[in-house]
């Protein structure tokens, strides 16, 4: 079933670390050989052995319009015909910035970059420049890309591989990163009471998506807003995953909390490499060339990426809130299918769905943070993951990752997935 992928993986391993360009693609957490993609179409992904999957990985989040959406492909092709990069401004960049500013409540001014990592790294530098302070606060199991300051108790692949911190990060950098348990309001208040005047910013995933999908408890985000404000620190919502995904305006629109800075990625590029950071006008005024905080990029605001992202955002805007409600209903159906099938078999199961994100845990719940999430049964998840692949469904190859829905997953695919879940659970 995976012969070609096995051969392809062997060849890849000879010339690339682990055979991949991003660690989580190697399927280490679930074992076995990763399947190699041949092509995608809507909610479907085809591998090079000719297997077909209903795709809930969706390139780890960006593909809210599924694979190869005709309108997005057309936008990219039309842009490419006019030239792939210019190194001088284009009007397309302004249109894209206007759209982001119009949609995301906390963003008044925005700078495009090429990845989520670049966005968070730049936002931190900006927060440090603005406040003149050096410490940042992040939460255990939060993943904010692979910049040095942020690889401390990080989620996603770092957690999947059981690496608390990465070698290569200077001690002097790591010690400026203070970590707290997600959703722990008291811990936040205690830390600020002790060290509030050293803290430049709190960076948080407003819905955590890199320790599985974990929702903020009531009062958590509100507390972060209040405490940062009263101590002169900035609040950064890392909406690289949640932006345009849990709601059109991101988690900040959904929960009605305005951060000082926002980082975006994934959905913003519709499958092309785009990230962005933006926020309050007075803070963004420090970014070069308006201000002294330096940050640049040869390919930033790339016309192909802007064309894809802009078309995608226009389509999301046209679809309106109904799209997010529909994705959430589908996500809840998958979670329900999973928990009901698990309970019938006497297996501990738990899950969440919000907007176009969901999380499935082999854990009796509740899952409120990294300590809970990491007590989930990973061996069982691995077995479930492979059983789902055999059923023709592609999930994230680690329990400490979120699942994603797209605008093109229909009743039919979701119904088939519910059946697949029942079969896969029965095979455990």
Computed over its alpha carbons, how large is the radius of gyration of the chain? 21
Nearest to 54 by CA among 415, 339, 356, 427: 415
Smallest distance, Å, CB 402 to ligand PLP? 8
Buried-state track 219-235, b at ≥16 Cβ within 10 A, e below 16: ebbebbbbbbeebebbb
Handedness of CA 205, 121, 269, 286 (dihedral sign): positive
Give the Cα separation of 76 and 82 in Å (integer): 10
The yes or no reply on residue 120 touching ligand PLP (CB under 6 A) is yes
What is the token pair recorded at 397?
Answer: 């190859």
The yes or no reply on residue 143 touching ligand PLP (CB under 6 A) is yes
Q: Are 306 and 276 in contact (CB under 8 A)?
A: no
Which member of 56, 138, 266, 372 is catalytic?
266
Q: What is the DSSP letter of 32?
A: S
Q: Which of 47, 184, 238, 401 binds ligand PLP (CB under 6 A)?
A: 238
Separation of CA 323 from chain center: 19
The yes or no reply on residue 259 touching ligand PLP (CB under 6 A) is no
Which member of 53, 56, 143, 381 is catalytic?
143
Separation of CA 196 from chain center: 28
Give the Cα separation of 418 and 421 in Å (integer): 5
Cβ closer to ligand PLP: 209 or 249?
A: 209
The yes or no reply on residue 300 touching ligand PLP (CB under 6 A) is no
User: Could you check whether the bond before residue 100 is cis, i.e. omega within 30 degrees of 0?
Assistant: no
The yes or no reply on residue 115 touching ligand PLP (CB under 6 A) is yes
Smallest distance, Å, CB 345 to ligand PLP? 32
The yes or no reply on residue 262 touching ligand PLP (CB under 6 A) is no
Q: Which of 19, 42, 106, 116 binds ligand PLP (CB under 6 A)?
A: 116
The yes or no reply on residue 122 touching ligand PLP (CB under 6 A) is no
Binding residues for ligand PLP restricted to 193-212, rule: CB under 6 A:
205, 209-210
Separation of CA 356 from chain center: 11
Cβ closer to ligand PLP: 205 or 391?
A: 205
Cβ closer to ligand PLP: 115 or 394?
A: 115
Give the Cα separation of 289 and 200 in Å (integer): 22
Binding residues for ligand PLP restricted to 27-46, rule: CB under 6 A:
none
The yes or no reply on residue 131 touching ligand PLP (CB under 6 A) is no
Q: Choose one: 100-108, 112-120, 321-329, 362-370; the region binding ligand PLP (CB under 6 A).
A: 112-120
Positions that interact with ligand PLP (CB under 6 A): 115-117, 120, 143-145, 205, 209-210, 238, 240-241, 265, 275
Catalytic residues: 143, 238, 266
């Amino acid at each position: 079933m995976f012969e070609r992928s096995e051969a392809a993986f062997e060849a890849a391993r000879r010339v690339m670390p682990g055979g991949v360009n991003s660690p989580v693609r190697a399927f280490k957490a679930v074992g076995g050989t990763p399947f190699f993609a041949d092509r995608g179409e809507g909610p479907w992904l085809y591998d090079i052995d000719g297997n077909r999957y209903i795709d809930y990985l969706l390139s780890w989040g960006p593909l809210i319009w599924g694979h190869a959406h005709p309108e997005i492909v057309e936008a990219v092709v039309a842009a490419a015909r006019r030239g792939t990069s210019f190194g001088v401004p284009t009007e397309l960049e302004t249109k894209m910035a206007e759209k982001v500013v119009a949609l995301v409540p906390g963003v008044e001014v925005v700078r495009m970059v090429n990845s989520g990592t670049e966005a968070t790294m730049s936002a931190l530098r900006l927060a440090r420049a603005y406040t003149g302070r050096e410490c940042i606060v992040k939460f255990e199991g939060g993943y904010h890309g692979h910049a040095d300051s942020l690889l401390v108790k990080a989620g996603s692949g770092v957690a999947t591989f059981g690496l608390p911190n990465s070698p290569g990060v200077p001690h002097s950098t790591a010690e400026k990163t203070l970590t707290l348990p997600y959703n722990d309001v008291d811990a936040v208040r205690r830390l600020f009471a002790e060290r509030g005047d050293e803290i430049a910013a709190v960076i948080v995933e407003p819905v955590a998506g890199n320790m599985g999908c974990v929702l903020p408890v009531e009062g958590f985000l509100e507390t972060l807003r209040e405490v940062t404000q009263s101590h002169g620190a900035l609040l950064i919502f890392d909406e690289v995953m949640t932006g345009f995904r849990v709601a059109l305006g991101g988690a900040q629109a959904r929960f009605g909390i305005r951060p000082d800075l926002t980082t975006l990625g994934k959905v913003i590029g519709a499958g092309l490499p785009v990230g962005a950071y933006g926020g309050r006008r007075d803070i963004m005024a420090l970014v070069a060339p308006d201000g002294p905080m330096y940050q640049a990029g040869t390919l930033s605001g790339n016309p192909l990426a802007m064309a894809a992202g802009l078309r995608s955002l226009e389509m999301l805007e046209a679809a309106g809130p109904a799209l997010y409600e529909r994705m959430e209903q589908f996500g809840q159906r998958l979670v329900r299918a999973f928990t009901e099938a698990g309970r019938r078999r006497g297996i501990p199961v738990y899950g969440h769905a919000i907007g176009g994100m969901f999380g499935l845990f082999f854990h009796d719940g509740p899952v409120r943070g990294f300590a809970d999430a990491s007590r989930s049964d990973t061996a069982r998840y691995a077995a479930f993951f492979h059983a789902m692949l055999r059923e023709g469904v592609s999930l994230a190859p680690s329990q400490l990752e979120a699942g994603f829905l797209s605008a093109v997953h229909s009743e039919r695919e979701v119904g088939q997935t519910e059946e697949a879940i029942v079969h896969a659970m029965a095979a455990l």
